Chain A
Amino acid sequence: MIEPIEFFTGKFNVTISDIESLLGVALSRGGDYADLYFEYATLNFLNLEEQIIKSANRAARLGVGVRVISGEKTGYAYCDEIDVAAIRKAALTAAHIAQSRSGVGPVNVSRVSPPRDLYPVAQLIDDEPLPRKIELLDRIDKTSRAFDRRIREAQVSLADEFKVVLIATSEGKLIGDAQPLARMRVMCIADDDGNLQSGVSGGGGRVGMDFFSDRLLDHYANEAARQAIVQLEAQDAPAGSMEVVLGPGWPGVLLHEAVGHGLEADFNRKGMSAFSGLIGQKVASELCTVVDDGAMPNRRGSLNIDDEGNPTSRTVLIENGVLRGYLQDKLSSRLTGAGLTGNGRRESYRHMPMPRMTNTYLLNGASAPDEVIRSVKRGLYAVQFGGGQVDITNGKFVFSATEAYLIEDGQVGAPVKGATLIGNGPDALTKITAVANDLALDEGVGTCGKDGQSVPVCVGLPTIKISEMTVGGTK
């Protein structure tokens, strides 16, 4: 595998002593902390529509971001090339955030290795010949269409990237990582006499080509087709306040949006979150333990080191209903004195790091999933979600369920369409009255947006029951 330090110093005309003097330039007007983030990424995208490969795209992205922190202020600049003169110019720009006249000289850095390799990959998808990738897409397309004659169209795509990063900090650390990432996605459209419905499936992670076994590809294909066909029979959703059961896996996106973001340290440091100042207090039903774990092997949200060079970890956010901590980046950790959690992430060298989630999920409870459903008199069973929105200040959210069923007298009944779940995160947490033992993480499709920056994440949930939630429907 690639050794990031050798990769950058070998491929580009940059030496370790250049890096040391560049850190000195960044701190030439003072400041508490500075770092350099070198990135070299290749990104591939292949898509199939109407049974043909519509297009193939390959992009190269490289550059360096320079950050200077002075108190609560951050200066940031970047260059789109890996060249000492260009980085120096960016460092001088970022340095302007600090006001002092005197700086420091070059900063000595020493090599540090990431604590572990969570994603050793034998054969990078980036190195795979195009015809081999096309075979995978074709297989999914054919399997989806064979599922039911009413499947009219399948759109299949494979996005893969390989990113090498190197981070140098004014605290003297020089650390790098090589990060593979891939995602397969399939959307099927079912057409029954003009009634059009769609279904989506897919997955991936920080994996190599061997991950996408025939069995897994067939699962994606059949799952997307099944969802589309189920929706053909769906009735209009009921409206009103009712019991809601969330299925395992991807419905964890609700936890991510309505609770996770509110636990990011930047919002809390500024008193802007519904969870600000509540550490040690009960914020959820005692059935709830929520963790963020960036150190899981091969997961989409996993990282050996975060984008500030710190090891990722398993952070308990809520334990048996009690708020335990927030997700920290360097800046928030410095300003609040809380320990680092390895959650400083950024989309690319063009972006400043901030506290972000990695793989976020609710731990298993004791109930059996069917027991949870049996306990519902009249409610909604939501299995798949589409888009959603959340307001961090009050935790309010709106989510649309793309696959959901009525529950009547403890039995899963007819599928419904157009159901939206409306509520607020802190309130919903207190109303979780059952947690099952079937925790699943999503299959590796999540991308989280914050302040215009997208990063890959995973979400997860066992089957849970929320005693009361507003369902928006048309019936």
Chain B
Amino acid sequence: VITTELLSGIVNQAVKRGATEAEGFGVESTEFHVEVRLGEVEKLQEAASRGIGLRVLYQGRQASSSTSDTSPQAIDELISSAVEMAKLTSVDEAAALPIRDDLARETADLGLYDRGVGELTTERKIEMARSAEGAARGADPRITNSEGSACSTTVSKTVLVTSAGFAGEYQSTTCALTVAPIAKEGSQMQVAVWGDRQRALASLESPEALGREAARRALRKLSARKITTREAPVVFESSAAEELLGDFFVAGDGYSIF
């Protein structure tokens, strides 16, 4: 189990071995994923995973290491490799961890965790995927095939400890349902992938609505025709606009600009 105590121990040990600053990071999660295709369960995957990362600074030099192995020997290697590597990298004046005064003292509840997501039964998740695919396939006779429908959930815990005195953790959940019907007319085949992803189960769009919308999106692509090369006004639907905005953000983030 990854706890603030475990990470505090790692951070303290890194400092003891020479690190001037250290940050321990851990994630534990349970992931579930089921795919249904043409009404039958095709893939079912379930696993608990975890990982620990350590970032250290040694007189302005930075290095990091990570592992999925929490045995004492692996943790010892994690600490020594990060500290030893940091001694060999270059001094970077911009590299530093947040100082004590910058650390958060209280955090708002952002509603990232919904107990209901972890309590969903396997049968219910299969049913949700089946209903979404069923709604898509039932929407129109031209929906002749399907890439399937998937229901995924994750329940995770994130822990962060720094040598400047921060120690905290939070839990979060995600639940997602996607469906990908294939529409066919003549020799034309079009697929649309549609779905929803939320933190809380109650916010997730119903399987039936997602299925119908996916079908509508596959069908409307059927009559696609070529257009000539031209300059034209372009309307971005909200989901496409989001992607475009994402690219703008990448161009505008600190890393791209400095």
Contact = CB atoms under 8 A, between A and B. Distances in A.
B244 interface: no
B57 to A, nearest CB: 10
A130 B63 CA distance: 12
Interface string B48-91: 11110000000001111111111100100110011001101111
A270 B145 contact: yes
A58 B109 CA distance: 34
User: Would you call the interface of chain B mostly helix, strand, loop, or mixed?
Assistant: strand
Interface in A56-96: 56-63, 72-81, 90, 93, 96
A408 interface: no
Interface stretch (B39-47, B156-164, B200-208, B209-217): B39-47
B229 A239 contact: yes
B42 A73 contact: yes
Nearest to B230: A239
B65 A59 contact: yes
B40 A72 contact: yes
A78 B50 CA distance: 12
Given A97-B44, A272-B145, A54 B37 contact: no
Contact of A60 (B69, B85, B229): B69
B45 A60 contact: no
Interface residues of A, number: 43
Interface residues of B, number: 45
A230 B247 CA distance: 25
Nearest to B63: A56
Contacts of B46: 76-77, 93
A470 interface: yes
B185 interface: no
Interface-centre pick from B45, B65, B188, B189 (highest chain A CB count, 10 A): B45
Contacts of B66: 57-60
B183 to A, nearest CB: 10
B47 to A, nearest CB: 5
A82 to B, nearest CB: 9
A351 B39 CA distance: 23
A52 interface: yes
A97 B65 CA distance: 36
A240 B189 CA distance: 25
A52 B60 CA distance: 12
A330 B147 CA distance: 20
A73 B63 contact: no
A-B interface, 5 closest residue pairs, ranked by CB to CB distance from nearest: A52-B90, A56-B85, A60-B67, A53-B89, A76-B45
Given A60-B65, A62-B68, 13 more contacts: A52-B91, A54-B95, A56-B86, A73-B40, A73-B42, A76-B46, A78-B47, A80-B68, A90-B47, A93-B46, A270-B37, A270-B147, A472-B229
Interface of B: 37, 40-51, 61-71, 74, 77-78, 81-82, 85-86, 88-92, 95, 145, 147, 182, 188-191, 229
28 contacts: A52-B89, A52-B91, A56-B64, A56-B85, A56-B88, A57-B66, A57-B85, A58-B63, A58-B85, A60-B67, A72-B42, A73-B43, A74-B42, A76-B45, A76-B46, A77-B46, A79-B47, A80-B51, A81-B69, A93-B46, A96-B44, A241-B229, A272-B182, A272-B191, A350-B47, A350-B49, A393-B191, A394-B190
